[in-house]
Chains A and B, each alone.
Chain A
Amino acid sequence: MKPEVWHDFPDKSTGRAGTINLTPQPDDIRTFFSRGIEQNMDALFGVAMRLTQNTADAEDLVAESVEKAWSAIESLADHDRFRPWLFRILRNSFISKYRKQSQRPVEVSYEEPFVDEGESDLASWLIEQPEGFLSWWADPEKEALNDALGEQIMTAIAELPQAFQTTVLLINVEGLTYDEAAEVLGIPTGTVRSRMKRGRALLQKALWLQAREAGLTVAESTNQDKP
């Protein structure tokens, strides 16, 4: 079925996109598709890396997904949904490819049901967090320590439970929306929202524990950071 509305191609008389019906021509489809792939190369690779954990596999997965997406382009009814549609194809390709490759089994199930518990406990813990710690992290002067802090953050993320880790990476590092992350992970958007809350709270807790291990005390940080 060919899409009837081509949002990406403006009406020449009004200059406004998404307001006209055109009969799509093969060249229009190719241009739209190529542009969409060009704009999303980094995101596709980033997501593929999060899924495969391996550069060569990630690159193969992206190329395979682009081929599949082109074959299925006529099934895309709403061009505004190009990105989530593309990510869904990437995810489905990943699942089918890795299910077939027994020598490289998927170590983590991205479809396992997630039991959300302890959220209120985490929220209570966050409220009690010392303000000195929060201010220390938010201080722009700490930019000089950016590499060290970046390393600390990525270590803390790597220690998160897999479901939270992948969700946080897809959204906060690769820049996906909750809707797009839901497509990639094959879970409802509400579950993505819940994982983000818990994942970010756990991340903050891990950073606090790291800071304490490194010798940052509440008293020191509070005195140092108060205006």
Chain B
Amino acid sequence: MNQSNDPSGIDEIGCLQAIETLYAYLDGELDDPQTVASIEHHLGHCRSCYSRTEMERALTARMRRSGESRASAGLQARLRELLEKF
């Protein structure tokens, strides 16, 4: 997808490019502020990508609630006992 500059100085990106960076964006793994600005600009204008982003956010939240592991009381006690020995 070609990109061009709009008057705000933010690179215009297309849906394919937005999808390419969407997951890293949602996971807080994009370091380049220009890339973050471009994807946020695109999400502000593209209903489909905005919906996809909201879907991915909801999906991640539900995944975490459904699958997150917690150390049992037994393991916690075992580790604290170990730490006491160090």
Bitwise, A153-192 to B at CB < 8 A (1) or not (0) is 1100100000000001101111101100000000000000
Taking the complex as formed, is A197 at the interface, i.e. its CB lies under 8 A from any CB of chain B?
yes
Given that A131-B51, A172-B60 are contacting pairs, would A196 and B27 also be in contact in the complex, using a CB cutoff of 8 Å?
A: yes
Beyond A169-B67, A173-B63, A197-B23, list 18 extra A-B contacts (CB 8 Å).
A30-B86, A33-B86, A45-B70, A55-B72, A63-B78, A70-B86, A127-B15, A131-B48, A134-B51, A137-B55, A137-B58, A138-B55, A172-B64, A173-B67, A173-B69, A178-B27, A197-B20, A204-B55
| B-facing residues in A11-67 (Cβ within 8 Å) | 30, 33-34, 37, 41-42, 44-46, 49, 55, 59, 62-63, 66-67
Count of chain B residues with Cβ under 8 Å from any Cβ of A? 39
- 20 CB contacts below 8 A, A to B, read A37-B83, A62-B75, A70-B86, A127-B16, A127-B48, A138-B57, A150-B62, A153-B59, A154-B63, A154-B66, A172-B27, A173-B69, A174-B68, A174-B69, A175-B64, A177-B27, A177-B28, A178-B24, A193-B24, A196-B24
- Asked if residues A46 and B82 are in contact (CB atoms below 8 Å), the reply is no
Kindly state the interface size class of chain A when it binds its partner.
35 or more
